[in-house]
A = this chain, B = another copy of it.
Amino acid sequence: MEWLDQITWTSDGLVPVIAQEATSKDVLMFAWMNREALARTAELGEAVYWSRSRGRLWHKGEESGHVQKVHEIRLDCDNDVVLLMIDQLGHEPGIACHTGRHSCFYSVLQDGRWTPVDPVLKDPASIYHR
């Protein structure tokens, strides 16, 4: 597929991916995809990442139920970063972070310290040990 060939993949065959919530426009998370993950994402309409720690495809929400429905797939000017516009399903408001928070970017630099400023919406234990 030509659109996949047009991406400048890293030497590991990956591309960085930003997931942004379509309605709130909050940036929810950052992850990586390989060619297969991006092809699956486009085909399914749901985010499928490449888990570098687990070394396998990771259909977001497969354990947590927090699936990401993909509205739009964007590419940057250098063809080496992908931006997904998504709905974060499975909880209201959406939970993208494994800590049970809305977004993974919940810490802010304040007075020289990283300070968590966003609430835990659901106990991670009840997300992952169902």
Contact of A104 among B30, B78, B99, B108 (CB under 8 A): B78
User: How many angstroms from the CA of A91 to the CA of B81 in the assembled complex?
Assistant: 24
B78 x A108 contact (CB < 8 A): no
Q: Which 3 residue pairs across A and B have the least CB separation, nearest first? A: A25-B25, A76-B104, A73-B109
> A: which residues have CB within 8 A of B?
1-3, 6, 16, 18, 20, 24-27, 29-30, 42, 72-79, 81, 83, 97-99, 101, 104-109, 112-114
Query: CB < 8 Å: which of B73, B83, B104 contacts A27?
Result: B83
A74 to B102, CA, bound (A): 14
For the complex, what is the distance from the CA of A107 to the CA of B108, rounded to whole Å?
Answer: 30
Question: CB-nearest residue of chain B relative to A6?
Answer: B114
Residue of B nearest to A96 (CB): B77
Least CB distance, A51 to chain B, in whole angstroms: 12
Q: Which residue of B lies closest to A24 (CB)?
A: B25
Partner of A112 from B2, B75, B112 at Cβ < 8 Å: B2
CB distance from A2 to the nearest CB of B (A): 7
Give CA–CA (A74, B18) in the complex, Å.
Answer: 14
Contacts of A81 in B (CB 8 A): 30, 104-105
